Chain A
Amino acid sequence: MISFINIFVNGLLLGGIYAITAVGLSMQYGVARILNIAHGEFIMVGAFLTWMLHTSLGINPLFCLALVGPILFLLGYLVRHYLFKTLRERTPSPAAFEGNSMLMAFGLLFVIQSLAIFIWGKSIVGYSFMPYSVYLGEIRFAANRLVIMVAAVAICFLFYLFLTRTRTGKAIRAASQDSDAAALMGVDINRMLTLCFALGALMAGFAGVLVSMDVKLNATMGMEYTIIAIIVIVLGGLGSIPGSLVGGFLLGIFGSIVSGIEPGLTLAAYYLLFMVLLLVKPSGIFGR
């Protein structure tokens, strides 16, 4: 019984990382219609920045959230403003834009990754963060993953509040639901989409900070997180913040159970789950 609870808890803790990885991509695809294959590279950049700040300046990784987030926000803003906006203006149909933006994001992936290699090199780097466990009765929580999960949930919650309670957030949601109507109501769609993409990058930055507390980093780590993020947003429904959260936790628990039975098939099971879900309910659990 206790081992089963532990599997469940581990899945939950892992789910926190998965959720925060996915939220940003969910924004970018759900609202701005950009399937940002380079999302994982943004996470990688965030993680490397955190590592740099922590090891060279001794800044606590949690404080890095406040430093790394804005940098990534700016990066996302520039990328959307100079690349995807232009692409959108040049592409005739929204459907063609989806395809082309994915291909462009792939180019972006190459560029960001090689720049990261020039800056940080190719070798593995990392640091240890809270490498111990806390116990609740007999149930064990890895301390760093617990912190990550709490932070991830808090960030998602704040972000959700931002989207539902503030004027700008409401405008973003309006833009994602019916951009024509929103434009008629005086929402500057283009600005909203840029903001949205930048917010996605901000979330990727947060994810990077949190991820760096758990795993060791290298410049080619991004793709893995992009794939997990895609699985989670399909699981939870595009553009839905609660969906990403729940999707992340579900995937974490699912993965934990599979790896308890046959660890070798964990990744295969992720893809299988994802593909089956795509077929059965492509709009996701929280999909509209």
Chain B
Amino acid sequence: MKLKTDAKNVSYLVIIILILAFLVAVPFISKPYTVILLKNILMFVALTLSWALFSGPTGYISLATAAFYGAGIYTAAYLGDVLPLPVMVLCGGVASFLLALIIGAITLRLRGIYFAIFTLSSVELIKHVLHWIEITVLGKRGRPVVKVSDSTVFYVILIIVVLLLVTTYFLKRSRYGMAMSSIGSCEEAAAHIGVNVVRVKVFTFALSSFFIGLTGAIMATGLIYIDSQIAFDLNYSFFPTLMATFGGLGNIFGPVIGAVLFSYLREILITKFPYVYMLIFGLVMILTILYLPNGIIGLAQTIKVKFLGGKDATATGRKVN
């Protein structure tokens, strides 16, 4: 058994490294827009993975992604001129981390849908307050952001994605990961068996936001000019949630596959069918939730069980709530 698991892990690792090596080479071998497209897809992968890091195992649907993403963007806009790029990106992450600590700490008592709508409102609250401050106190809306080349952005996001994959992998296998899953299945029971529910929840929430902040900070450099409406766009709260659901939360590849497919679909729709983008997007969302409640991964496993008769597929049912 041990041997088998190792073999499986090694083959995973080899394929992941192959894909990564390929991605690293992309800016040298492909057309400029391919880099931009992949940068965009990787951004959604990063956001979705970060979202799934917390919301996957615990079952709390966080809709504050746009708030953390926006915090990263604003940090970049303010510090981009004075700090070197890596430090600036890190600051974006830290800003989001701190914001998430605050939001996490005050939402401790909220469950289920209440947590979702609270986090959703936090995005709007920050957006409006920031806008008000910009207009009435600073007397000027928005800010320019320092510009970085697309391939640099691409590499930074690639690094963020790799960090996320590693973090997700090890977190899942750590005591924290176990604690998170136990919170997901039954919070009272988790508290009862000695899990420090508060610490686990808030820390993971903040950790996932840290990565969202990093992504926001580096993506901001491609925006050139930002204001509160642009930075705190609710779509960035909904997309990661949908992409993760689309891909399936059963294992680490679900969110990745979901984000890749979803963002590629989006790209095709907005370039080939500009007017029907929303309609098709909405239909895909409805059909996914209706017919693929466990996402693409769930579908893949159902197929596998049917054709290959694997035993391990039962362990990967969807873990929301």
Contact = CB atoms under 8 A, between A and B. Distances in A.
Interface stretch (B25-33, B129-137, B141-149): B129-137
A108 B118 contact: no
B320 interface: yes
Given A227-B124, A265-B128, A271-B128, A278 B135 contact: no
B2 interface: no
A125 B231 CA distance: 29
B121 interface: yes
Interface string B202-235: 0000000000000000000000000000000000
B238 interface: yes
Given A271-B124, A275-B118, A103 B132 contact: no
B16 interface: no
Contacts of A271: 121-122, 124-125, 128
A234 B112 CA distance: 14
B125 A268 contact: yes
A35 B117 contact: yes
A214 to B, nearest CB: 22
Interface in A40-97: 83, 86-87, 90-91, 93, 95-96
A249 B8 CA distance: 61
Interface in A237-288: 264-265, 267-268, 271-272, 274-275, 278-279, 282
Contact of B136 (A234, A264, A274): A264
A103 B242 CA distance: 7
B290 A104 contact: yes
Interface string B107-128: 1011011101110011011001
A95 B112 CA distance: 7
Given A86-B290, A98-B112, A278-B110, A103 B125 contact: no
B153 to A, nearest CB: 29
Contact of A96 (B125, B242, B286, B321): B321
B285 A102 contact: no
Nearest to A271: B125
Contacts of A234: 114, 117
Nearest to A97: B321
Contacts of A5: none
B111 to A, nearest CB: 9
A106 B286 CA distance: 8
B128 A274 contact: no
A100 B293 contact: yes
B124 A99 contact: no
A265 B129 CA distance: 7
A118 to B, nearest CB: 8
* Range class of the A interface residue count: 35 or more
B283 interface: yes
B241 A111 contact: no
Contact of B279 (A95, A110, A230, A265): A110
B196 to A, nearest CB: 21
Given A103-B242, A110-B279, A110-B282, A274 B121 contact: yes
A176 interface: no
B124 A93 contact: no
Contacts of B300: none
B290 A106 contact: no
A109 interface: yes
Contacts of A87: 289-290
A24 to B, nearest CB: 17
Contacts of B110: 278-279, 282
A98 B279 CA distance: 23
A93 B245 CA distance: 16
A275 B321 contact: no
A23 to B, nearest CB: 18
Interface in B267-321: 276, 278-279, 281-286, 289-290, 293, 318, 320-321
Interface string B48-61: 00000000000101
B138 interface: no
Nearest to B288: A107
B321 A93 contact: yes
A111 B116 contact: no
Q: Which of B112, B135, B136, B278 has the most CB of A within 10 A?
A: B278
A26 interface: no
Q: Which of A90, A91, A98, A107 has the most CB of B within 10 A?
A: A107
B21 interface: no
Given A90-B290, A98-B112, A282-B110, A106 B242 contact: yes
B136 A275 contact: no
A181 interface: no
A118 B278 CA distance: 11
B106 interface: yes
12 contacts: A35-B116, A35-B117, A95-B112, A100-B289, A100-B320, A107-B282, A107-B286, A110-B285, A267-B128, A271-B121, A271-B128, A282-B110
Interface of B: 59, 61, 106-107, 109-110, 112-114, 116-118, 121-122, 124-125, 128-129, 132, 135-136, 238, 241-242, 245, 276, 278-279, 281-286, 289-290, 293, 318, 320-321
Q: Give the 8 A-B residue pairs with the shortest CB-CB distance, closest first.
A: A110-B282, A107-B285, A111-B282, A95-B321, A268-B128, A107-B286, A114-B279, A271-B125
Given A83-B290, A234-B117, A274-B121, 4 more contacts: A90-B293, A102-B116, A107-B286, A264-B132
